[in-house]
Amino acid sequence: MAEFRAGTGEQPAFLRELLDRGILIDSTIPGLYGRSRLFEELRLQLIEVVRRVSAPDQPERLAFPPLIPRRQLEELGYLRSFPHLAGTVFSFEGDDAQDEQMTDMALAPAACYPVYPAIAARGPVPADGVTVEVAHGSVFRHEPSGDPARMQYFHQLEMVRIGPPAVVEAWRDRWRDQAVALLRSLGLDAEFDVATDPFFGRAGRLLARGQRAQQLKFEVQVPLGGDEPTAVASFNYHQGHFADVYGLRCEDGGEAHTACLGFGQERIVLALLHQHGFEPASWPRDVRAVLQGDDG
């Protein structure tokens, strides 16, 4: 999911109202919330909206645990590029004289990460590529904040495309327009922009400049009460990075590229509540029709 540039504006008041109404449930840890039935119903409806739009792609649906092997973060360079966001798992082993030790597991920082080794294990990628959906990806990023849109635990709906470079680029370009249209159909003032990931340190700033210069990351942003719009969906074109790490090749022996599109489910629900109010029954009829699958 894309980095959100935190502001002030209406965000503290919006969070207080969400908590007062029981739509979010306070855990005493910033960015870690329970969610009400209303919130979860809207989130699940959103998944179905995306699935209706993505149906022509005939994506294969996969599901993975919220934990991944820690070595995967090391292989991908995540711990080098984003050490400030990572979450590792500690557990007790041994006798009562020992402390908890780091395990070989980490919390998944992106729902798409398990997809690449899973597809690589099957062998060469077909000429028309592979499309995978991970709809219920549970994600952790260590970003404690009083901004309701910056949660530490959240869900991504990820669409992943793997195949020849031209196939992947065409898919990415098509979905760039489809994602904006999808969010606008929900009554959100969605706009598209070039973006960068929140890389760490001086070397990270160089990576971010290169990412922006090559336009490898895009965001779809909507107003959500802050000084600047919030990214609620993002596209990352990895070129050959994941393919090189996991040995992904095409059937003809050519290089494979990968790209992913992530919808931040909680952020979109928050944007809907911020835009239309806390009573979905009173939302605009066309918005309710899209959410309920009656949009034709």
pLDDT digits (tens, 9 = 90+) for 182-203: 999 999 999 988 655 554 344 5
How far apart (Å, rounded) are the C-alpha atoms in residues 243 and 164? Answer: 11
Contact 111, 158 (CB under 8 A): yes
- The tokens for 9 are 């504006």
Low-confidence ranges of the chain (pLDDT < 70): 1-9, 96-97, 194-216, 295-296
pLDDT of residue 80: 84
How far apart (Å, rounded) are the C-alpha atoms in residues 22 and 30? Answer: 16
Domains assigned to the chain: 11-67+108-291 (3.30.930.10)
pLDDT of residue 146: 87
**Which residues, in sequence order, are bridge partners of residue 61?**
133
Cα dihedral 119/261/24/108 (nearest 10):
40
pLDDT of residue 6: 39
